[in-house]
Structure 1
Amino acid sequence: MSDDADTDRAVVKTFVPTYQKDEWKRHADDLDMSQSEFVRTMVQAGRRGFGLESGAGESANRAEGPSDAPDPRGDGLETRLLDLLNSDEYLSWDRLVEELAGDFEDRLEETLQELQNENRVQYSGRRGGYTVTNDGE
């Protein structure tokens, strides 16, 4: 795949009821995002939530292992960073960390919850942390 293919943009059109568009606009404004950035982010988040494939040979949670994808570092950070930087002229270091860390924190919380539901991990308030259980083996 050429470098140009990684940065090419395409228009996607959809039709939603006016009230929904207004709601999305308000939410995007609250998050200081453009409408395009908001919709793109929500679609990608939904795809991860459904465990859908995110691209050729890549799992939705690419941190699980290496892939043959154009981003060999594995977690799509480069793509997510470029998406953020395309939304505004300049973003501070703190804002970039906040935007990117939030995604990781959500994924971490979801994964911990799944592991607890499977009884593979447990939390101990008394000991102040998580540990692997013997029951989940």
Structure 2
Amino acid sequence: MSESADTERKSVKTYVPAYQKDEWQSHAEQLGMSQSEFVRTMVQAGRKGFESATTEPSSGGSDPGGNALETQVLNLLSSDTYSWDELLEAVSDDIESRLDDTLEELQSRNRIRYSGRHGGYTTVGDGGGDGE
């Protein structure tokens, strides 16, 4: 099998507004998923969005990188059998370190900053008059 076969499950806790939790639960039910599965899937989809924003597109046209995940999954499955967690790990790559590098680069170019007041990263100069 690939790098890590560790599929031990760990808990992740977060707080969201009640309306958002209700929306997530409703959407999960529509998709026939548990709320945990829905949140896990959406987080991974979001991570892939960050990945495509920080890498060169692998396909042209109006949807750059649109088939990259499909191609990667098919390539992986052509050589071995993977569980959901193993596939997730294999396609997730090193997005966390690449995101960290990208955030550092954007901060060094004064394009973004971390704002406790805004609850996280924010662009510089958008609406605050404190930049560009």
TM-score (norm: length of structure 1) = 0.42
